[in-house]
Amino acid sequence: MLKILNAPEAAQRKLGVVLSYVNIFVSTILTLVYTPFFLRALGQSEFGLYSLASSVIGYLAILDLGFGNAVTVYTAKYASSGEVERMHKLHGTIFSVYLVMSAVIVLAGAALLANLHAIFGAKLSTSEMGEIRIMLMLLTANLAISFPFSIYSSILTAHENFVFIKLIGIFRTIALPLAAVPALLLGYKAIAIVIIATAVNLICVAADFIYCKRKVSPVISVRNFDAPTLKQIFGYSFFIFLGIVVDQVNWNVDNFILGAVAGATAVSTYAVASTINATFVTLSLTISGVMLPKIAKMVSANSTDSELSAEFIKIGRLQFYVIFFIASLLVIFGREFIVLWAGANYEISYAIALILVLPVSVPLIQNLGLAVLQAKNKVKFRSIAAFCVTLVNIAISIPLAKAYGGVGAACGTAFAITLLNICVMNIYYSRVIGLDIAKFWRNIGAMVVKFAPAIAVSLAINYALDLRGVSFLLICGGLYSAMFVLSAYFWAMNDYERAIFGGIAAKIRRRA
């Protein structure tokens, strides 16, 4: 274990990706087993309250102001150039700001609780209001306590300690359901789940703190606060912060709107679709999430646009295989899966999931572009454009949610995703950043065509036989997966990708 934790940077990136997929695999298995039990143990209304409280408190997390990303980027640059004193000032300054933000979180949480009835009183019962109040208090305290210590995770990321970070992620994935199941069996409800989630989070925060102190030994003190450093970092992080605000609003505003205009049941059906969509986001971050320090170093070394484009296309192709595979599985088998997994009451979640997942698939395979923007300090345009699009999202989602419930709210979000990430950003990447977007889409388009036969055959089998049940999902899903892998290996992959696939297959055979 110590050998793995002390692996060099290149190995850390590879192991980080592998452990990310291990985490996703474990998370998927636990989700398949745990979520149906969780839904039935809580009930639709209680699950809706839990989802609503989590969404509302998510808005307080934006008080990070983008400083976490700034710590990662600038620590990587300063470590690479040996500017130790500037690094100490950076860490002391950001830690001081985080302490202030913790106080702001407490005040914001108190203000939210004071106005809770005015926001949700029209659609939530008295007992539901009491429960969500307690959950919001717990979640606010959790966020306020853990906020200052998040700097240690950013420092570990900057130093490419991905193995430890991903192992903590796996622990977080496993610990919550393992602790929650006994509580639910004993009759406890959503409040108990929030208490358990808080405990798990604080354990992970403490682990980051201890490991970072021993491995990196950063000098973090409020005495190192430096106003010029804050001004410099704020100039970078403000637009990162604006992007975080936009993401939080786009992915949580629908729950907020539905809670206000439609009630807890509508929130619960939307939350099931959001769970599926969140998996897509996690999958996309698996590879690109470990690339930010490398991209920052490439930009610092004045890499050319063609070199950055090559990296952008290489990573985009790898992400495409994962994203497109899961998206196509959802299209072909999603309805039956959701009914079996969550229950017949959640069938509408299939339509909501499709509306969210299909447009978001495009920016997910282009996620490395965001790392390039951040490393080049070119996030201003995207953040401003995203803010404008978010206002449009809110404006159209409210009437759509009133008229069509969760489906309408999802349509508003899908429109915002398409306008910003598919239309606007591809033009910006090409004309301003210098990425070869035309070549990128030629690559992706050629790959999509190679999978058309497998998709067509699976759709034909699905609709011709009209099979249902777990056996149908396992047999037909397995058949499609086999066709997808064969199509990828023999038709879609290039030599680099086949070498990666062959290496993974060889390791599996050796361990079998």
Q: Which of 205, 225, 245 is the last residue of a domain?
A: 225
Q: Which of 161, 193, 225 is the last residue of a domain?
A: 225
Q: Output the 3-class SS for 158-195.
A: HCCCHHHHHHHHHHHHHHHHHHHHHHHHCCCCHHHHHH
- Does residue 154 belong to any structural domain of this protein? yes
- Does residue 8 belong to any structural domain of this protein? no
pLDDT tens figures, 60-107: 666 666 788 788 888 888 887 788 899 999 999 999 988 998 998 899
- Does residue 105 belong to any structural domain of this protein? yes
Taking phi over 0 as left and psi of -120 to 50 as alpha, with beta for the rest, 435 belongs to beta
Q: Are residues 468 and 408 in the same domain?
A: yes
Q: Are residues 366 and 437 in the same domain?
A: yes
Local structure of 412: helix, strand or coil: helix
Rounded to 5 degrees, what are φ and ψ at 304? -75, 165
Q: Are residues 188 and 336 in the same domain?
A: no
- Does residue 92 belong to any structural domain of this protein? yes
Give the Cα separation of 474 and 20 in Å (integer): 24
pLDDT tens figures, 393-448: 999 999 999 999 999 999 999 999 999 999 999 999 999 999 999 999 999 999 99
Percent of the chain with pLDDT over 90: 35
Q: Are residues 208 and 145 in the same domain?
A: yes
What pLDDT was estimated at residue 396? 94
Residue tagged 């190679």 (tokens): 450
The answer on pLDDT for 1 being more than 60 is no
Which domain range does residue 320 map to? 265-511
Which ranges in 43-161 belong to alpha helices (H)? 44-58, 67-81, 84-114, 116-120, 126-146, 150-158
The winner for highest mean pLDDT among 151-165, 297-311, 317-331 is: 317-331
Give the Cα separation of 188 and 102 in Å (integer): 30
What pLDDT was estimated at residue 197? 86
User: Closest Cα to residue 64, out of 217, 312, 244?
Assistant: 244
- Does residue 234 belong to any structural domain of this protein? no
Q: Are residues 269 and 218 in the same domain?
A: no
Q: Are residues 322 and 203 in the same domain?
A: no
Q: Which of 196, 225, 254 is the last residue of a domain?
A: 225
DSSP one-letter string for 227-253: HHHHHHHHHHHHHHHHHHHHHHHHHHH
Q: Are residues 370 and 486 in the same domain?
A: yes
Q: Are residues 212 and 301 in the same domain?
A: no
Q: Are residues 276 and 404 in the same domain?
A: yes
Q: Are residues 217 and 276 in the same domain?
A: no
How far is residue 197 from each of residues 85, 112, 325, measured CA to CA in Å?
Answer: 37, 21, 31
- Does residue 492 belong to any structural domain of this protein? yes
Percent of the chain with pLDDT over 70: 91
Q: How many domains does the chain have?
A: 2
Q: Are residues 221 and 285 in the same domain?
A: no
pLDDT tens figures, 260-288: 888 777 888 898 898 888 877 776 666 65
pLDDT tens figures, 99-136: 998 998 899 889 988 888 887 777 777 888 888 889 88
Q: Are residues 364 and 467 in the same domain?
A: yes
The answer on pLDDT for 245 being more than 80 is no
For residue 37, give both structure tokens: 């039990």
